[in-house]
Amino acid sequence: MPRKRVAFQKADGNDRSFTIASLEFCLSQLRKADPNLVKKAIASGDGLTESKDDVSTRLSEAHRYAVQQCLDNSESLAQLHHQLVLCDNVFERLQATLYSFQDSLGSIGQDMKNLQLQSHHIHQELENRQKVRVELSQFVDDIAVSQKMMKAINDTDANDRGFLEALHELHHKITLIVQRGNGDAVAINDTMPILEGLKLKAIIKVREWLLQKMFQFRKPLSNYQVFQNQLLKCHFFYEFLLHHDLISAKEIQDEYIDTVSKMFFTYFKAYAARLFKLSMKDVATKDDTLGNIESAKPAGLGSLFSSKQHVVRNKATVFSIGQRHTVLSDEFFGALIVPHAATQNHISYQFESLFRSLQLAFVDHYSHEFLFITDFFLVNNEEAVELHNKAIARAMSVVLKSCEEQIALSFDAISLHLCICLCDKFVNVLAEREVPEATEYWNTVASFLWTRLNFVMAQHYDSVKAVDVKKLMHSGSLDTRPHYIVRRYAELTSAHLTIAHTSGKEIGDKMEAVLESSEDSIEQLLTRMSAMQQTQKNKHVFLINNFDLILSTIDDEESKNSKIYAIVHELEQKSIDDFVEEVLDPHVGYLIKFVNECESLQAQGHTQLLVRYNDKIGTVIANFNAKWKPAVDSINSECIQLFTNFSLGANILQTIFSKLVQYMNRLTKLLAHDVFAKNPVCAQMVNVHQVMLEIKRCKPAY
């Protein structure tokens, strides 16, 4: 049996492998054992005396036993062999199936790679075809001329929305064809003549429509801004001409500029002429100067039977500002003055109100026109400024001429100053609107105003300098009350300071020079008028009252920081100091003289000379003790009557008493000197606290 033989061979091999394994195990154990013990065992010979025959016998028995076991289990071994053969067959078929499946999988992977490659090629072809389709469709759309567009260009009115849309489409087609170039597309050669014909038709209709709208600007009483809004809605008409017919576009631009220039010229010429007719009749004239002396002529018999009425003008309105400065604040952006409405209602205005209305109208039209030109004619920077100047130049010249004529007739310094500040505010308005500021124009207007203001103020200075003081005297003398010329000056100065504050700017060097010149002329006049007073005391009272009038008139927080206020305040203080000395001199002049002389010697160290004043000190103390109380009462009653401003009189009275107490303290300090300390008369000096109590009694209740 071959299979059995194989099994025996395998079994024999297993035994051999087992024996080798056992031998290897023994050898491994032997290597681990103690070498000395191994040597000892080999030397003794235990376990190694078995003979070769015994070994052979034992092996033969084992072989026979094994053969017998195989014979006894032959059937089982045969069945096992049969099963192994069956398993071999099954595994062989499975291996063949797996090899077949492996081959199939390899072909499927290759098919998938082929399909992926084919899909990529198909996708690329699709993308290319879509790109070609889009470009080809766009190209066809660009060159194709629809019947709808042709009908809209040829038959539709230019005011219709459809015409504007067709014009956009036509411009788009022509522009794209020009950008693409003719190339090899034969269809373009067929389409271009049609597009050129439509373009000529569109240019004619657009040109006629734009010219018609501009001719409407010339109609009387027409609101040109309505037509401008219509032009802006169809601003593409001009853009179309600009791209396809530069000659027509230039014609439209020139026609518009010429039309608007004439329109603005006519409008502002008529508006300025009608506006300045609304000027108030009762305005300042060349005779309304600071130094103009008011005189009332006595009424004779002729005046009783005369039918004419003598109108006495209120000079206060010429020099006081009232609420006129609101033209710089609340009324600045107020409504424009409508001449015919004001005429019907018999309303007249100050010059600054008329000036504001004219300049505000000019600024509004100036700004609006610049924005329209940049939006409609598609220009900017220098080109826009140049076009705008052409459109507005004639109107600007007529406004300048009107202002120059009216300014040359003005004698109202307040109005002129207000107009100067208005010019500054209008410049700021133009800057906020981001339009050209017309610097040359405003500088010219401001130059007119400053020239006239300097002239008018010079008239005031000269009139004050030319005042004949003798004509101001009544009954051979001047009273000490504030003079009306000074009141005029105070009102006018206050007006200028108020205008500067309302304008939001500091007083410039030009205005500062004007105010200083005015103050200098008034100061000279007061010096000449004070010289006409009968007493030195009245001279000081007169100056104090007039300076106080000026300060009280311009007495506000802003004006107090001005240079003029500081100058006048210094002059008033000087006059008050002189007045105090003048008042004290009749009452305690001896004491003042004694104190001044002794302090001078003491400061110089002339103690020997101070001894001479030891004899005089008794007289000084005796006179003061006897006269100080009547002196206080006399000074109190005198000061209350001298000053028109009771608060000022009270302050000056306190200044006088304070000065008196200072002299007493200085005298007391002198009496403590070694030269006078031993003089028994020094102890008789009245106590300063007693004098101060009496002074407090005289303090006014207001």
Q: How confident is the model at residue 477 (pLDDT cuts 50, 70, 90)?
A: low
Q: Report the pLDDT value the prediction gives residue 646, as an integer from 0 to 100.
A: 83
User: Residues in the chain, how many?
Assistant: 702
Q: Report the pLDDT value the prediction gives residue 58, as an integer from 0 to 100.
A: 80
- The least confident of 81-85, 218-222, 610-614 is 218-222
Query: Alpha-carbon torsion 228, 231, 233, 238, what sign?
Result: negative
Q: Report the pLDDT value the prediction gives residue 312, as an integer from 0 to 100.
A: 43
DSSP SS3 for 651: helix
Q: Report the pLDDT value the prediction gives residue 13, as an integer from 0 to 100.
A: 45
Digit-coded pLDDT (tens) for 82-140: 898 899 889 988 988 888 888 888 788 788 888 888 888 898 988 888 887 777 676 66
Q: Report the pLDDT value the prediction gives residue 284, as an integer from 0 to 100.
A: 87
For residue 182, what is the enclosing H or E element? none
pLDDT (mean) for 207-217: 88
pLDDT (mean) for 320-339: 91
Q: Identify which has the larger pLDDT, 107 or 541.
A: 541
Alpha-carbon distance of 654 to 648, in angstroms, equals 10
pLDDT (mean) for 28-52: 65
φ, ψ for residue 630 (rounded to 5)? -60, -30
Q: How confident is the model at residue 616 (pLDDT cuts 50, 70, 90)?
A: confident
DSSP count for the chain of H helices, then E strands? 26, 0
Given a cut of 60, is residue 681 above it in pLDDT? yes
Cβ–Cβ under 8 Å, residues 384 and 245: no
Q: Report the pLDDT value the prediction gives residue 416, as an integer from 0 to 100.
A: 95
Q: Identify which has the larger pLDDT, 351 or 111.
A: 351
Q: Report the pLDDT value the prediction gives residue 301, as an integer from 0 to 100.
A: 35
User: DSSP H helical segments within 217-350, as ranges?
Assistant: 224-233, 235-244, 246-275, 301-305, 316-319, 339-344
Alpha-carbon distance of 123 to 127, in angstroms, equals 6
Here the tokens at position 370 are 């610049």
Highest mean pLDDT among 32-36, 420-424, 556-560, 666-670: 420-424
Here the tokens at position 115 are 């399909």
Q: Report the pLDDT value the prediction gives residue 603, as an integer from 0 to 100.
A: 84
Q: Among residues 169, 250, 241, which one has the least CA distance to residue 205?
A: 241
Alpha-carbon distance of 543 to 530, in angstroms, equals 7
Here the tokens at position 49 are 């005396």
Given a cut of 50, is residue 275 above it in pLDDT? yes
Q: Among residues 203, 206, 101, 194, which one has the least CA distance to residue 145?
A: 194
Q: Identify which has the larger pLDDT, 393 or 136.
A: 393
pTM > 0.85 = no
Q: How confident is the model at residue 267 (pLDDT cuts 50, 70, 90)?
A: very high
- The least confident of 313-327, 386-400, 642-656 is 313-327
Alpha-carbon distance of 37 to 46, in angstroms, equals 12
Given a cut of 50, is residue 569 above it in pLDDT? yes
Q: Among residues 513, 333, 336, which one has the least CA distance to residue 428?
A: 333
Digit-coded pLDDT (tens) for 139-174: 666 666 778 888 888 888 888 888 888 888 888 888
Cα torsion 355, 360, 361, 362 to 10°: value is 90
Q: Identify which has the larger pLDDT, 169 or 9.
A: 169
Tell me which residue has tokens 């601003």: 235
Q: How confident is the model at residue 60 (pLDDT cuts 50, 70, 90)?
A: confident
Given a cut of 60, is residue 22 above it in pLDDT? yes
Q: How confident is the model at residue 305 (pLDDT cuts 50, 70, 90)?
A: very low
pLDDT (mean) for 562-580: 91
pLDDT (mean) for 216-236: 83
Highest mean pLDDT among 188-197, 527-536, 690-699: 527-536
pLDDT (mean) for 29-57: 67
pLDDT (mean) for 427-454: 93
Digit-coded pLDDT (tens) for 638-661: 887 888 788 888 889 899 999 999
Given a cut of 50, is residue 268 above it in pLDDT? yes
What is the average pLDDT value for the chain, to the nearest integer?
83
